[in-house]
Amino acid sequence: MEFPERVYTEEEVKKAKQSLGEGYKHNLTVNGEMLFTQKVNKALELIKTAGYYEFLRTYIRQIMEIDGITQLRETEATIWANKFAVENEVDAASLFVQKAYHMKEYLDGELYYGGQAEKRTVQKRIEFLEVLKSKSEDSRIKEECERLLDMWRESSIAY
């Protein structure tokens, strides 16, 4: 079974879930200017290093450059990202993983937006950074993971 072109109606969500249940994976594509594509590909390599790439392409079909606010387009299984969102490849990688978890919750029929959903997916983002830090052999990547983890820990006190 193929994944539907859009995921909006109950029937389309049902077809999408059935496809994923049968093992469907997207052929993840990146669309944008050359520099954007290069930066996204670096982030994708980090996602592979952490062992999250198959998860990402289960739920995300495309990462597209836009001149606007970075967001998940659930009905398209697409992440719209601006050039600032991909400037730091470690942060971008963790953002893409977080958006994939949002997409999973959307398809699972869970409340995928709002404070509690954001808290859940931020926790997944933190878990990703911890895994990447432990699996990467690059000291620069490890240091950036730790810097971001410190930032997320400090900001999570507000929750």
Q: Calculate mean pLDDT across residues 139-150.
A: 98
Confirm whether 5 is domain-assigned. Answer: no
Residue 62 has pLDDT above 90, yes or no: yes
Confirm whether 2 is domain-assigned. Answer: no
Q: Calculate mean pLDDT across residues 100-111.
A: 95
C-alpha 49/C-alpha 94 separation (Å) is 12
Confirm whether 3 is domain-assigned. Answer: no
The pLDDT-based confidence of 99 (bands split at 50, 70, 90) is very high
Of the ranges 61-65, 101-105, 118-122, which one carries the lowest mean pLDDT score?
118-122
Q: State the chain's mean pLDDT as an integer.
A: 95
Identity (one letter) of the amino acid at 99?
A: K
Confirm whether 62 is domain-assigned. Answer: yes
Whole-structure pTM value: 0.95
Confirm whether 95 is domain-assigned. Answer: yes
Confirm whether 1 is domain-assigned. Answer: no
Q: Which of these, 55, 58, 43, lies nearest to 145 by C-alpha position?
A: 43
Tokens of 112: 């995928």
Question: How do 71-73 and 78-81 pair as beta strands?
Answer: antiparallel
Contact 74, 112 (CB under 8 A): yes
Per the structure, the complete domain to which residue 32 belongs is given by 10-156
Question: How do 62-65 and 78-81 pair as beta strands?
Answer: parallel
Residue 11 has pLDDT above 80, yes or no: yes
Tokens of 72: 């998940």
Q: Calculate mean pLDDT across residues 126-139.
A: 98
Confirm whether 4 is domain-assigned. Answer: no
Residue 157 has pLDDT above 80, yes or no: no
User: What is the predicted pLDDT for the residue at 4?
Assistant: 95
Residue 29 has pLDDT above 70, yes or no: yes
Angle between helices 34-50 and 89-107 (to 10 degrees): 70
Q: Calculate mean pLDDT across residues 71-87.
A: 97
Confirm whether 89 is domain-assigned. Answer: yes
User: What is the predicted pLDDT for the residue at 80?
Assistant: 98
SS (H, E, C) 58-94: HHCCEEEECCCCCEEEHHHCEEEECCCCCCCHHHHHH
User: What is the predicted pLDDT for the residue at 111?
Assistant: 86
Q: Calculate mean pLDDT across residues 81-108.
A: 97
Q: Compute the Cα dihedral for 145, 150, 155, 159 and give only its sign.
A: positive
For the chain, how many structural domains are there in total?
1
